[in-house]
C-alpha cells in the first residue's frame, strides 16, 4: 500500500525553540521523492522541503531540515528557531503515480510567543 | 513567474446544482491535478490531466469530471451537488512528462459550500 502516516495530529512549540514533526511511509521503490508541505490559514499549500531518496544527505532549507531514515521509511521535519509565522498545518507527501501526491493526515503546529 | 491561479476563491451552491472550478497552472507546466480537502477525509486525489488527456484518476463518482485545454488551463465540474461535496478544492501543477517525482505547486484553492 502506498501510505503516508503522520502520527501527531497536533504539536506545539515555544517561539525560538525547536520542534520535530514525524512521518512514516510505505513503498517498495528504491528511488522516490518525499516532501513536506505547509498549509497556513490562507489555505495555499507551500512546499517547505524536498528529499530525494537516493541522496544520503539530509535536505536542509534555512531553519528547516529533515531526518531521512530510508531503511526505517521515516521522514521527519525539524524546525529550528520556531517563528510565529511557522504556525500552520504540515503535510508529509510522496508522489505515488502520475500527478498524484499521497499525503499524510497532517499535523497542526501551534507556535506560542 | 505567476503561480497557480484558481477561480473563484469561494462558492456557495444549492444541492442538485452543478459547479465549475477553474485552474491556470504555472506557465510551462503541462500537468494539472485536482484534490479535495475535507476535515474528515484529508487530502484526496481527484484526477490529473496532461496534454489535454486525463492520465490518472482517484476514487470519486462520475459526478466529478474535468478537462484540460490546449493552454494547459483546467476546469473541474461537479454535477448534482451533494452536501458532502462541501470542501476545499485544490489544484496543483507540475511540469509533467513521464517522471512522477516532480515538485507540485498549488493554488490557493476554491472553497465550495453546498447548502
- Taking any CB pair shorter than 8 Å as contact, residues of chain A touching chain B are 31-33, 35, 37, 42-47, 50, 52, 91, 95-103, 105-106
CB pairs under 8 A between A and B: 70
Residue of B nearest to A5 (CA): B42
pLDDT in tens, A22-80: 999 998 888 899 999 999 988 899 999 999 998 888 999 999 999 999 999 999 999 99
The predicted structure's pLDDT at residue A28: 86
**Below-70 pLDDT ranges, chain B:** 1
User: CA-to-CA distance for A6 and A8, rounded, in angstroms?
Assistant: 6
Q: Which of B32, B56, B96 sits opposite A100 (nearest CB)?
A: B56
CA triplet A64, A25, A85: central angle to 5 degrees?
25
Q: Which of A32, A42, A99 sits opposite B31 (nearest CB)?
A: A99
Q: Which of A31, A46, A98 sits opposite B55 (nearest CB)?
A: A98
Cβ separation of B108 and A44 shorter than 8 Å? yes
Handedness of CA B92, B97, B102, B103 (dihedral sign): negative
Helix (H, G, I), strand (E, B) or coil at A84: helix
**What is the distance in angstroms between the Cα of A31 and the nearest Cα belonging to chain B?**
9
Q: Measure Cα distances from A78 to A59, B31, B46 in Å.
A: 11, 31, 31
The predicted structure's pLDDT at residue A1: 62
Contact predicate B8/B109, CB 8 Å: no
| Pairwise pLDDT comparison (B103 vs A5), residue with the higher score | A5
The predicted structure's pLDDT at residue B1: 66
Amino acid at each position: 500500500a502506498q501510505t503516508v502516516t503522520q502520527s501527531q495530529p497536533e504539536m506545539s512549540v515555544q517561539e525560538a525553540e525547536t520542534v520535530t514533526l514525524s512521518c512514516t511511509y510505505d513503498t517498495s521503490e528504491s528511488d522516490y521523492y518525499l516532501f513536506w508541505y505547509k498549509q497556513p490559514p490562507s489555505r495555499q499549500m507551500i512546499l517547505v522541503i524536498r528529499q530525494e531518496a537516493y541522496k544520503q544527505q539530509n535536505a536542509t532549507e534555512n531553519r528547516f531540515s529533515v531526518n531521512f531514515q530510508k531503511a526505517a521509511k521515516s521522514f521527519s521535519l525539524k524546525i529550528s528557531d520556531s517563528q510565529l509565522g511557522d504556525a500552520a498545518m504540515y503535510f508529509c507527501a510522496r508522489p505515488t503515480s502520475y500527478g498524484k501526491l499521497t499525503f499524510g493526515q497532517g499535523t497542526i503546529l501551534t507556535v506560542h510567543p | 513567474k505567476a503561480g497557480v491561479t484558481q477561480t473563484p476563491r469561494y462558492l456557495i451552491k444549492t444541492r442538485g446544482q452543478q459547479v465549475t472550478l477553474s485552474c491556470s497552472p504555472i506557465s510551462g507546466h503541462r500537468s494539472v491535478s485536482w484534490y479535495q480537502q475535507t476535515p474528515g477525509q484529508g487530502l484526496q486525489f481527484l484526477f490529473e490531466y496532461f496534454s489535454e488527456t486525463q492520465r490518472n484518476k482517484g476514487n470519486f463518482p462520475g459526478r466529478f469530471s474535468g478537462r484540460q485545454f490546449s493552454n494547459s488551463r483546467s476546469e473541474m465540474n461537479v454535477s448534482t451537488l451533494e452536501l458532502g461535496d462541501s470542501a476545499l478544492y485544490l489544484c496543483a501543477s507540475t511540469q509533467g512528462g513521464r517522471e512522477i517525482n516532480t515538485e507540485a505547486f498549488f493554488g490557493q484553492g476554491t472553497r465550495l459550500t453546498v447548502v
